[in-house]
Amino acid sequence: MWVKICGIRTMKAGLAAMEAGADAVGFVFAPSRRQVDPDRAQALAMGLPGVARVGVFADTPPAEVVRIARYVGLTHVQLHGDEPPEYLRELPLPAIKAVRLAGEADLEALPAYREAWGILIEPRVPGPFAGGAGLPLDPALARAARDRLRAEGYRGKVILAGGLTPETVCGAIRAVAPDGVDVSSGVEVRGEKNIDRIYDFLAAVRGC
Protein backbone atom coordinates (compact mmCIF):
# COMPACT_ATOMS: atom_id res chain seq x y z
CA MET A 1 0.00 0.00 0.00
CA TRP A 2 1.52 3.29 -1.19
CA VAL A 3 1.24 6.04 1.44
CA LYS A 4 1.73 9.78 1.05
CA ILE A 5 1.77 12.32 3.87
CA CYS A 6 0.83 15.62 2.28
CA GLY A 7 1.16 19.23 3.37
CA ILE A 8 4.65 18.87 4.85
CA ARG A 9 5.98 22.23 6.03
CA THR A 10 8.60 21.31 8.64
CA MET A 11 11.60 19.02 8.67
CA LYS A 12 10.32 17.42 11.88
CA ALA A 13 7.12 16.32 10.16
CA GLY A 14 8.95 15.21 7.03
CA LEU A 15 11.43 13.10 8.97
CA ALA A 16 8.60 11.55 10.97
CA ALA A 17 6.82 10.59 7.76
CA MET A 18 9.99 9.08 6.31
CA GLU A 19 10.95 7.21 9.47
CA ALA A 20 7.40 5.93 10.00
CA GLY A 21 7.54 4.31 6.56
CA ALA A 22 5.69 6.68 4.23
CA ASP A 23 6.46 6.23 0.55
CA ALA A 24 6.03 9.92 -0.28
CA VAL A 25 5.71 13.39 1.21
CA GLY A 26 3.83 16.23 -0.41
CA PHE A 27 4.71 19.91 -0.66
CA VAL A 28 1.75 22.14 -1.48
CA PHE A 29 2.42 24.97 -3.91
CA ALA A 30 -1.27 25.62 -4.60
CA PRO A 31 -3.05 28.29 -2.51
CA SER A 32 -3.63 26.67 0.88
CA ARG A 33 -2.83 27.18 4.55
CA ARG A 34 -0.25 24.42 3.98
CA GLN A 35 1.40 26.22 1.06
CA VAL A 36 5.18 26.44 0.99
CA ASP A 37 7.43 28.46 -1.28
CA PRO A 38 10.03 26.78 -3.49
CA ASP A 39 12.95 27.78 -1.27
CA ARG A 40 11.44 26.18 1.80
CA ALA A 41 10.40 23.11 -0.15
CA GLN A 42 13.91 22.72 -1.54
CA ALA A 43 15.41 22.82 1.96
CA LEU A 44 12.95 20.17 3.11
CA ALA A 45 13.43 17.98 0.05
CA MET A 46 17.21 17.95 0.48
CA GLY A 47 16.76 16.46 3.94
CA LEU A 48 14.32 13.75 2.82
CA PRO A 49 16.18 11.64 0.28
CA GLY A 50 14.52 8.39 1.24
CA VAL A 51 10.99 9.17 0.06
CA ALA A 52 9.27 10.37 -3.09
CA ARG A 53 8.89 14.15 -3.05
CA VAL A 54 5.61 15.24 -4.60
CA GLY A 55 4.77 18.83 -5.51
CA VAL A 56 1.08 19.70 -5.42
CA PHE A 57 -0.10 22.28 -7.96
CA ALA A 58 -3.45 23.60 -9.16
CA ASP A 59 -3.81 25.08 -12.65
CA THR A 60 -0.19 26.22 -12.76
CA PRO A 61 1.33 26.63 -16.25
CA PRO A 62 3.33 23.49 -17.13
CA ALA A 63 6.56 25.44 -17.64
CA GLU A 64 6.29 26.83 -14.11
CA VAL A 65 5.62 23.38 -12.67
CA VAL A 66 8.72 22.03 -14.41
CA ARG A 67 10.83 24.95 -13.22
CA ILE A 68 9.79 24.48 -9.59
CA ALA A 69 10.13 20.71 -9.79
CA ARG A 70 13.70 20.96 -10.99
CA TYR A 71 14.63 23.64 -8.46
CA VAL A 72 13.13 21.83 -5.48
CA GLY A 73 14.19 18.32 -6.50
CA LEU A 74 10.73 16.82 -6.84
CA THR A 75 10.29 13.23 -7.98
CA HIS A 76 6.56 13.54 -8.82
CA VAL A 77 3.97 16.23 -9.38
CA GLN A 78 0.33 16.17 -8.32
CA LEU A 79 -2.28 18.16 -10.22
CA HIS A 80 -5.27 19.38 -8.22
CA GLY A 81 -6.88 21.80 -10.63
CA ASP A 82 -8.79 21.54 -13.88
CA GLU A 83 -5.77 20.47 -15.92
CA PRO A 84 -6.83 18.72 -19.17
CA PRO A 85 -5.44 15.27 -20.03
CA GLU A 86 -2.98 16.67 -22.57
CA TYR A 87 -1.32 18.67 -19.77
CA LEU A 88 0.30 15.42 -18.61
CA ARG A 89 2.32 15.15 -21.80
CA GLU A 90 4.10 18.42 -21.03
CA LEU A 91 5.58 17.15 -17.77
CA PRO A 92 8.89 15.25 -17.59
CA LEU A 93 8.02 13.73 -14.19
CA PRO A 94 5.47 11.09 -13.14
CA ALA A 95 2.17 12.86 -12.51
CA ILE A 96 -0.70 12.16 -10.14
CA LYS A 97 -4.01 13.66 -11.29
CA ALA A 98 -6.57 14.42 -8.60
CA VAL A 99 -10.17 13.95 -9.70
CA ARG A 100 -13.00 15.20 -7.50
CA LEU A 101 -16.08 13.04 -7.34
CA ALA A 102 -19.59 13.99 -6.26
CA GLY A 103 -21.58 11.37 -8.17
CA GLU A 104 -21.46 8.76 -10.89
CA ALA A 105 -21.48 11.42 -13.62
CA ASP A 106 -17.97 12.43 -12.51
CA LEU A 107 -16.64 8.97 -13.33
CA GLU A 108 -16.79 9.82 -17.02
CA ALA A 109 -13.70 12.05 -16.67
CA LEU A 110 -11.48 9.33 -15.24
CA PRO A 111 -10.41 7.32 -18.33
CA ALA A 112 -9.10 10.45 -20.07
CA TYR A 113 -6.27 10.56 -17.51
CA ARG A 114 -5.06 7.00 -18.10
CA GLU A 115 -1.57 8.33 -18.92
CA ALA A 116 -1.13 9.54 -15.33
CA TRP A 117 1.24 7.67 -13.02
CA GLY A 118 -1.49 7.82 -10.42
CA ILE A 119 -5.10 9.00 -10.19
CA LEU A 120 -6.16 10.37 -6.82
CA ILE A 121 -9.88 10.23 -6.09
CA GLU A 122 -11.37 12.56 -3.50
CA PRO A 123 -14.73 14.16 -2.68
CA ARG A 124 -15.85 17.23 -4.56
CA VAL A 125 -15.98 20.20 -2.18
CA PRO A 126 -16.40 23.94 -2.83
CA GLY A 127 -13.30 25.95 -3.64
CA PRO A 128 -10.43 25.82 -6.15
CA PHE A 129 -8.27 23.47 -4.10
CA ALA A 130 -9.86 20.56 -2.25
CA GLY A 131 -6.79 19.16 -0.54
CA GLY A 132 -6.98 18.87 3.23
CA ALA A 133 -10.72 19.44 3.52
CA GLY A 134 -11.03 16.40 5.78
CA LEU A 135 -14.20 15.06 4.14
CA PRO A 136 -14.46 11.35 3.24
CA LEU A 137 -15.31 10.02 -0.19
CA ASP A 138 -18.34 7.73 -0.36
CA PRO A 139 -16.90 4.18 -0.45
CA ALA A 140 -19.36 2.99 -3.10
CA LEU A 141 -18.39 5.87 -5.37
CA ALA A 142 -14.70 5.21 -4.70
CA ARG A 143 -15.13 1.54 -5.63
CA ALA A 144 -17.00 2.53 -8.78
CA ALA A 145 -14.13 4.85 -9.74
CA ARG A 146 -11.56 2.11 -9.13
CA ASP A 147 -13.55 -0.41 -11.13
CA ARG A 148 -14.11 2.02 -14.00
CA LEU A 149 -10.40 2.70 -14.28
CA ARG A 150 -9.48 -0.98 -14.19
CA ALA A 151 -12.14 -1.78 -16.78
CA GLU A 152 -10.54 0.83 -19.04
CA GLY A 153 -7.17 -0.88 -18.68
CA TYR A 154 -5.60 1.66 -16.33
CA ARG A 155 -2.50 0.19 -14.68
CA GLY A 156 -1.36 3.14 -12.60
CA LYS A 157 -2.07 3.69 -8.94
CA VAL A 158 -5.59 4.48 -7.75
CA ILE A 159 -5.05 6.62 -4.65
CA LEU A 160 -7.78 7.32 -2.10
CA ALA A 161 -7.90 10.66 -0.29
CA GLY A 162 -10.35 12.55 1.85
CA GLY A 163 -11.22 12.21 5.53
CA LEU A 164 -8.59 9.58 6.28
CA THR A 165 -7.27 9.38 9.85
CA PRO A 166 -5.39 6.79 11.90
CA GLU A 167 -8.78 5.68 13.18
CA THR A 168 -10.52 5.37 9.79
CA VAL A 169 -7.87 4.45 7.25
CA CYS A 170 -7.98 0.68 7.74
CA GLY A 171 -11.74 0.61 7.26
CA ALA A 172 -11.40 2.74 4.13
CA ILE A 173 -8.74 0.44 2.70
CA ARG A 174 -10.90 -2.61 3.34
CA ALA A 175 -13.96 -0.93 1.82
CA VAL A 176 -12.29 0.44 -1.33
CA ALA A 177 -9.09 -1.59 -1.89
CA PRO A 178 -7.10 1.30 -3.41
CA ASP A 179 -3.45 1.07 -4.40
CA GLY A 180 -2.53 3.95 -2.14
CA VAL A 181 -3.78 6.48 0.39
CA ASP A 182 -3.05 10.18 0.81
CA VAL A 183 -3.52 12.06 4.10
CA SER A 184 -3.05 15.63 5.27
CA SER A 185 -5.49 17.01 7.84
CA GLY A 186 -6.04 13.54 9.31
CA VAL A 187 -2.57 13.59 10.87
CA GLU A 188 -2.84 17.13 12.19
CA VAL A 189 -3.71 18.61 15.57
CA ARG A 190 -4.88 22.21 15.59
CA GLY A 191 -3.79 22.64 12.00
CA GLU A 192 -0.24 21.35 12.41
CA LYS A 193 1.26 17.97 11.59
CA ASN A 194 1.39 15.79 14.69
CA ILE A 195 4.25 13.32 14.95
CA ASP A 196 2.29 10.73 16.93
CA ARG A 197 -0.60 10.81 14.45
CA ILE A 198 1.79 10.36 11.53
CA TYR A 199 3.24 7.24 13.20
CA ASP A 200 -0.24 6.02 14.13
CA PHE A 201 -1.47 6.47 10.56
CA LEU A 202 1.37 4.44 9.07
CA ALA A 203 0.96 1.78 11.73
CA ALA A 204 -2.75 1.52 10.96
CA VAL A 205 -2.06 1.13 7.24
CA ARG A 206 0.59 -1.53 7.73
CA GLY A 207 -1.53 -3.35 10.28
CA CYS A 208 -4.47 -3.39 7.92
Please give the average per-residue pLDDT across 103-116, as a whole number.
Answer: 94
CA–CA gap between residue 10 and residue 187 (Å, rounded): 14
Predicted local distance difference test score (pLDDT) of residue 18: 97
* pLDDT at residue 131, as a whole number: 56
Give the Cα separation of 131 and 67 in Å (integer).
22
pTM for this entry:
0.95
Tell me the per-residue pLDDT of 173-200, one tens digit each, with 9 for 90 and over. Answer: 999 999 999 999 999 999 999 999 999 9
Q: Using the 8-state DSSP alphabet, how is residue 33 labeled?
A: T
Which domain covers residue 14, as residue numbers? 2-207
Average pLDDT value for residue range 108-124: 95
Q: What is the pLDDT of residue 127?
A: 61
| Cβ burial, residue 149 (10 Å; 0-12/13-18/19+) | buried
pLDDT at residue number 133: 63
**Total of domains in the chain:** 1
Rg of the chain in Å (alpha carbons):
16
Reply yes or no on whether the pLDDT at 129 is more than 60. no
Smallest Cα–Cα separation from 30: which of 86, 98, 87?
98
Residue 82 maps to which CATH number?
3.20.20.70
**Does 19 score more than 60 pLDDT?**
yes
pLDDT in tens, 30-76: 999 999 999 999 999 999 998 999 999 999 999 999 999 999 999 99
The 3-state DSSP class for residue 13 equals helix
pLDDT, position 126: 66
